[in-house]
Structure formats: structure tokens, C-alpha cells
Structure 1
């Protein structure tokens, strides 16, 4: 009985741990990518050879953009208030190592509200009247240490600046990475071409070829997804019953491009969000046999003495 209980416990724990590795994202079936190979048969006249590569590039620097809004009764008041918040924040931020800042003007507009005009024998009239001004600015912060972002958030929040618009990732090595990917793809496509030649017992040296290639760069800001992790309650209620739904927490997570469909990968292991560069090259090889042009007919005249003579005949005139 004890052995049976231990066996049951091991099975239960193994099922539980596999569920934990899967993650809560699978509650909503986020991963629906195709899991089987599906290739199209090459056309009768040609072969398409494809090589795809992926590079995970760590950023060299980052730019965080924070937005702030200030409202005041006069233009002077609104400018003084927002400049005070910005200058105090930037004074502390600039004490950090390798930090560059920039303030971007966004908008400066009047703010209106409705004033009710009451009349004795008619309906109320609502008139828009100016009550002040609204000024919006963005603070751009460039930094190289990703851990500094927490410090910036702490400093800015002390001055009522909470809106982190986005974080841009910048790499100075993208050009060299692209060249490396092209070189790797060139070697692989040559290897694939030789392999096809061996399999088919042919040579593609003199065959007609067409080639195309392209890059795609995916930034981390484009690669975030969301889901709601919860388990619904099922009750057998009447249609007239009032049900109050609770607000579900939405989770955001970084979802990089999967590395399972590529012929080569540069820096396959990633921990933090990275810039992902995809490269694909395609070569079409035309295997259609070239038709040998037909030559003009040759006429031979046999003389009475038995000699053979070649006759030159103008076939163009014969067609006419």
C-alpha cells in the first residue's frame, strides 16, 4: 500500500511540474504555431532553395521616453510648474553615469469647461469657457546600463512623472551582424545546391538562376503579448440572475521569435529582451531542358557517275 501511494504521488508531481514548465500563458492557447513540417513539392521546371537565419543582438544603449502633463490657470504658471518638475528630475538623473537627456515639446493648448447659463422660460444653455492651459512634454533619457531604468523611475515618480511611454533598443553592430548572416547563408545555400546536384545526378552550373533576399529587424517593443490568467467559475444559474464579473489582471510578457525554423542562429541563448534580425535568401534554379534549334535540311545530289555533291538550298524561298 505504501509503494502504491508513493507511485501515485510521483505521477501526480510529474504532471504538476510539467504544467508549471508550460506556464500560465497556455490557459488561452497563445502558442498555436504549426508543429509539423509542411513543404511544397518543387515545380516540374525548377527547384527553390531557401536559407533562413536568425541573430539575437544585445542592445548597446537604450532610450526611455517619459511623458508628463501640467495644467495651470495662466501660461506663466503652467510653464513654471512643469519646468520645475523637469529641472529637479534631470538634476538627479544627470548624476548617473553615461546618461544623456533631452526634453521634447509635445503640445500647449487651452483647457475649457462648460458654464451653465440659466434662463427663466427656456432650457439651460451650456457655454464653453477657457479655464486654463495644458502643457505636455516628453523626457528622453539615453543610457547604457539597463539596470538604471529603475533609478530613473524612482526619481521621476518623486516629481509626479509616472508615464513610461516606451523604451527603444539601439545596437551599433547591426551592419556587421547582417554581413555575418549573409556570409553564413551563402555557405549554406552553396552546400544545399551541391546536395541537390548529388541527389538528382545533375549539375546546375549552366542552369538559369534567380535570387532574392531580405532582412527583418524585430525590436523588443514590438514583441510583447498579453494574456489574462484565471480559471472561470461555472454556475447553473437562471438567465435573469445578476452576475458581477471581477476585473482580471492582464499580464504582459516578452515573446521573441522562436528559433526553431532557421538554418542557423547567432547567439541562440537569450535572457533579456534583444533585437532580433532575420535574414532569408531564396534561389530558384530552372531545370527546364533547353531545346536544340533545328538546323536546315541538307540535300545531296548523286551524279550519273555516282559522285555525291552537296546542294545549297534556300529554305526561306521554299517556304514562300
Structure 2
């Protein structure tokens, strides 16, 4: 990839708080919920009714359980929106079929095993790396600006090839949703120096030497050196021969963790901050033909709705961009 010389843009004007408003100005999408037979799944459907960014919810799973949950929550469901199945495997298969038929535009994981659903989704995989990208904001982190974190839930093996995919997927979300033409991407580790006994530092350094298009990538950086300019000043971090360090250190837009364990721990910290009204989050899994949402049962209603809005924005802008370029949006 060729390097670009344009300077990074300032903080994104898009925020987690404005995702639903932004999505409401775009064409509404059809959401399919895989395993929609719990009350919490129907609670999401109830919350979405009347939201302008969703035109329809398709519920795939055990028919009687879906209807029982709907009655308990007094949710009115058209019979055509219930796709009854006899097993989790059939639920996964029917969900994927709805995507292949062009009916479903966003997948929301409900009461179904993630491995079962992910295996079925290999049929609609659009690229080598599928990854979870979390948008978040907190006054405690990065001055409260909107940022992205990856990968807290999908990628378990982070070699050079897979890390490249994580970087590219997160950059795509930054481009399409946060309107960042050249996001600043920090490759996190426990230290900003290459240490032989800490392989993630060497991998980050190697990736930093690559040429990246429409993004600035640098690492290794510890979390504080990625998000806090004061830490950069106090620790006397020298730019040396790395111009990317000057652009990324202390002002990263995207945090790429060295592995799922580190990313998941950081994500759980964000969840705790959210419960204290000190953070807001929204998630999207990219790398398949349509956006895919994997939510924790502990996520609040706002996170669920904001995640769906995030996916609506991503889906529409990706579709529009692909059409302008004469490409299929699944690429």
C-alpha cells in the first residue's frame, strides 16, 4: 500500500450519542436476530419499534418460545417476521440464508452459541479476517473523544497477517462511520520499546514499518502513550526517525490490542464505566457480507440500540461507496 501525505483529521464529529440520530437520516435496514427466543431479545425488538433506522426485525429461532416472550412483553409481531427452527444449527443456517437472499442487512446474535453461528457464517465471509470493532467514548480516556478498540471478541490468533486484517477492518469503520479520512492507529503492548521476551512489541514494530494507505499506524505503544499527550511529555517519548509516532502518540483514534485477552479486559473496563455513566459503547463485527452484532447479556439497552445504529450507518455507507466505485458491497 502507498503512504499518503495528507495530515490526519481532527477529532471526529460523530459520537456514540449521535449514532441513532445519524442512522435515522439514512435508509432503514432489516435486522435478523439469530436465536430470538429470550425476553431480552424481544425487549430489543420492542425498543426498535418506531425507530426510523430499522424497518423490520426478523426473528429466527424456536417459534413457541419467541411467541411466549413476545406475549410476556406485549410485543406485537407479524407472523411473517418469525422464522421457526428446530435446532441452533438450523437457526444459524436460516439466518445465513436470509443474508444470501438479500433480505437481512444486519445480523444480531441472540440466544445461540457463537461458535455455531460463526461456523455457518463462513459461507458469507467477505474477507480473510473477521473482527469485532468497538466504538467508545469516556471522559476518562482520550479526553472523551470517540475512539475505536479491537478485537475484544472474535480474533484469537494475532499473527502478522491477522493483525493486518484487524488494522484494516478498524480503519474501514473509522473511515465510514467516524468520517476520519486518515485515522491514527496505535498498536498496543505493555511497553513502547521492542523487548524480545514480549513478542507483541516486535510484531507492532514490524507492522509500523509497513506502508499503509489512508491511515497512520504506529507501535508498540503502551495505553497511556497512545491516548494521553501528558504521558507522552512526561515520559520524554522521542519521535526519532518515526514520523508516525509524532502523529499517533497521545492522540490515537484506534487502539489495536495485541490479543483478545487484553482487548476483552479493556472492553470489560469500558462496560464497568458504562454502568457508572462514565462511558458509552457500540460494537460491530466486520468481515462478513453484512454487519454482525455480538452483544454481551450484560450490555445495557443504550449499547444495544447504538450498536444497531452503528451497523446501519456502516452498511449504508459501505453500500453507497461500493456503488460509486462499481464494486459489490460484499467485497
TM-score per shorter chain, which class?
Answer: under 0.3
TM-score (normalizing by structure 1): 0.21
Structure ranking higher on relative contact order (CA contacts 8 Å, 6+ apart): 1
TM-score (normalizing by structure 2): 0.21
